[in-house]
Amino acid sequence: MSDSTTDDALDTRERMMLATLRVLGDHGYAGLSIQRIADEADLSKSSFYHFFDDKDDLLLSFLDFMLARYGLPFEQESPDGPKAELDAYLAFALDGVTGDIVIPLDDFDPGSGRPYVALRSQATFDDDYRGRFTDIDANIHDRLADVIERGIDQGVFRDVDVHATTELIMSVMLGSLFRRATSDQVDVDAVRTQLDTVLESHLYADD
């Protein structure tokens, strides 16, 4: 991997990552090759080896690239408090919207979660991927649980089972993502509305 950190290098890297995203979305993991990504990015195949050792190295970086974006709403505590933080995360996870910033899902993630699901499905049999997604999910779990704990401490959330509540929310989020990426039979708006109803009566303290 090159140690170049000029703007040009960063731009090239970004182009490679976005091309990887598109190839994954169009051809799945099985159809992924450096050649195909190079063609998609309009770069030479050899230019990839300035940045990455091999396809696995590229995909590891790609995972970091996706996570840096998916993890966005948790980067800092919101001045508006835990309820606003949870709401921002659910909006991000279920609607592709974070706060005032609408993430252009078609640009970032063509087909809404398809590259993520294609990559993650490797974890069904590849232990390296499985370990990676276990860490990623543990991180999301801990951050979500932290938001809920702070809400309880501040009296804006009820004294719920933090772990079980976190687990249910994670299944709803990842289930909606999985369904949207693999089927046209999913109504994410209905899921969101129903989840809000559930949180309203189970989690949010009466005003």
Closest approach, Cβ 89 to a copy of itself, in A, equals 15
Closest approach, Cβ 135 to a copy of itself, in A, equals 8
Closest approach, Cβ 144 to a copy of itself, in A, equals 12
Burial class (CB in 10 A: 0-12, 13-18, 19+), 47: middle
Q: What residue ranges bind a copy of itself (CB under 8 A)?
A: 25-31, 111, 114-115, 117-118, 120-126, 129-130, 133-138, 141, 161, 163-165, 167-168, 170-179, 181-187, 190-191, 193-195, 197-198, 201-202
DSSP string covering 39-79, please?
HHHT--HHHHTTT-SSHHHHHHHHHHHHHHHHTGGGSS--T
Closest approach, Cβ 4 to a copy of itself, in A, equals 33
Q: Which is nearer to a copy of itself, 103 or 186 (CB)?
A: 186
Tell me the C-alpha distance between 23 and 77, whole Å.
35
* Residue found by looking up tokens 């909006």 in the block: 91
